[in-house]
Amino acid sequence: MDLTLLKWVFLRVCLGIAVYLGLKKPSLLISLLVGAVALEISVTWFPLLEPLNSQSVFSLARILTCAIILAALWRLGVEQEKRQKLKGILSLFLSRALLIYLAVGTFSLLYSVGRGQTILQVVRLLTFFLLYLGVCLLAERQHALLPFQVVHWVGVALVPLALYEGMTSQRIWHLAVMVGHRANATFVDPNIFARYLVLAMVANLILQYFNQAVWKRCLYFGALCGLLGALAITLSRSGVVTLVIVLVLLLLLVPRQRMFQPIGLMVLIGAGIVAKWPIVWQRLLTIQDELGALSERKNLWRASWSMFTNHPILGVGLGGFQKMFITTYSSFGKSGQVTLSHTTLLTIAAELGILGLTALALIWLALIRTLRSLRSLDKNGFERYLPGVGYFLWILTIFISSQSEARFFEDPVLWVSMGMMLSLL
């Protein structure tokens, strides 16, 4: 069969499944989405829409995102209780904080240096906000742990690919970023793969806590060791830093022996990996030198700070960093240098100024308040609070990782996590 025809057949099958689940089991789409995020390689499985676009506009994550939004709209149209629920969701502090950030970005159209790019970014934010609402409307509390299970086992399934790449230096996805012997599996970049592995490890620890059977805890711990080994093969410094911060915070939020035991053993095994594999230790030793070594990033950071100090209140406009960097602030760069900022905080500061940073702070404040509300609801247990902690740490993982590899508001797992937190209330 012709490859192009096969891709069209696969696209129709995926669309058919998405439509069926959207009508019959829409809550399952949420868990499938967080699993599909790991398959960035799926863009190569679908046909190109030439001459409209030389790159595929389809991926499993995009298809499922649209399916969740459309399923939620369908339910709103046929179910009165969903419309009432939507009113309640929009009245929550987190929803309002997200709308404020969206409004700030939309307002920047009035002064943005690149309005075309700003429009694209606003449309993207609006799409993800609709995804967030869709998750809030479709999520079922009895399936609160299902996204953790999907991310965990998808992460475990990618471990053999990481081992293969680490041993052979052969890439599964040849169009992905080639960075030495670092594994990237089905992701375009090793650091994004590392981020997903950290998400899977958080999910593993949450699931371990809820499993009392010894054999299940042993199975999960074995899987945890595999995920830790795969993280080592990515040689991602940002991934290791993110993991350490997240584990410390997890112990602070859930100070229980059942949580201390697997994390303690995990630390010992991690130390063994570092001692056994010198290249990992050498890579970690360069963390302190990273700022000086990455001269291109250093110039990007300086340009971001300069944009912020020159436009402190409003910024240069959502999505305007690249245009400003190659024009007004071209003195900070050089020919052939990366022109996109990879640091979320500095990008928001440069593009949306103090207004954008304030909106971001409101989002974090709303997330913390939501977590406290879940804790107060679970006076005698962790039935709601612990999954809420897991989703909160997923958001934190994405945020910390995005300080070196961007993709904060652009990561669907962020919006799914926020929606799932609210569904636990």
Give the pLDDT of residue 156.
96
Give the pLDDT of residue 294.
44
23, 260, 321, 399 from 300: Cα distances, Å: 46, 40, 10, 19
Is the pLDDT at 420 greater than 50, yes or no?
Answer: yes
Q: pLDDT tens digits, residue range 68-114?
A: 999 999 999 999 999 999 999 999 999 999 999 999 999 999 988 88
Burial class (CB in 10 A: 0-12, 13-18, 19+), 150: buried
Nearest Cα to 350, choosing from 295, 390, 400, 300? 300
Integer Rg of the chain from CA: 22
Cis status of the peptide bond prior to 312, with omega within 30 of 0? no
**DSSP single-letter state for residue 331:** G
Q: Which range has the worst mean pLDDT, 16-20, 205-209, 233-237?
A: 233-237
Q: Which range has the worst mean pLDDT, 93-97, 145-149, 200-204, 330-334?
A: 330-334
Q: pLDDT tens digits, residue range 32-49?
A: 999 999 999 888 888 877
Q: pLDDT tens digits, residue range 347-406?
A: 999 999 999 999 999 999 999 999 999 998 877 668 899 999 999 999 999 999 998 877
Q: pLDDT tens digits, residue range 300-339?
A: 778 888 888 888 999 999 988 888 888 877 777 654 566 6
Helix 214-234, helix 257-276: angle, nearest 10: 40
How far is residue 369's CA from residue 197's CA, in Å, rounded to a whole number? 27
Is the pLDDT at 179 greater than 90, yes or no?
Answer: no
Q: Does residue 111 sit in helix, strand or coil?
A: coil
Q: pLDDT tens digits, residue range 245-295?
A: 999 999 999 888 888 888 888 888 877 776 666 666 565 555 544 444 444
**DSSP single-letter state for residue 218:** H
How far is residue 196's CA from residue 151's CA, in Å, rounded to a whole number? 8
**DSSP single-letter state for residue 147:** H
Residues 6+ apart with CB under 8 A from 206: 145, 148, 386, 387, 389, 390
Nearest Cα to 349, choosing from 394, 393, 403? 403
Half-sphere exposure of 56 (CA within 13 A, CB side): 18
Q: Tell me the residue type at 290.
A: E
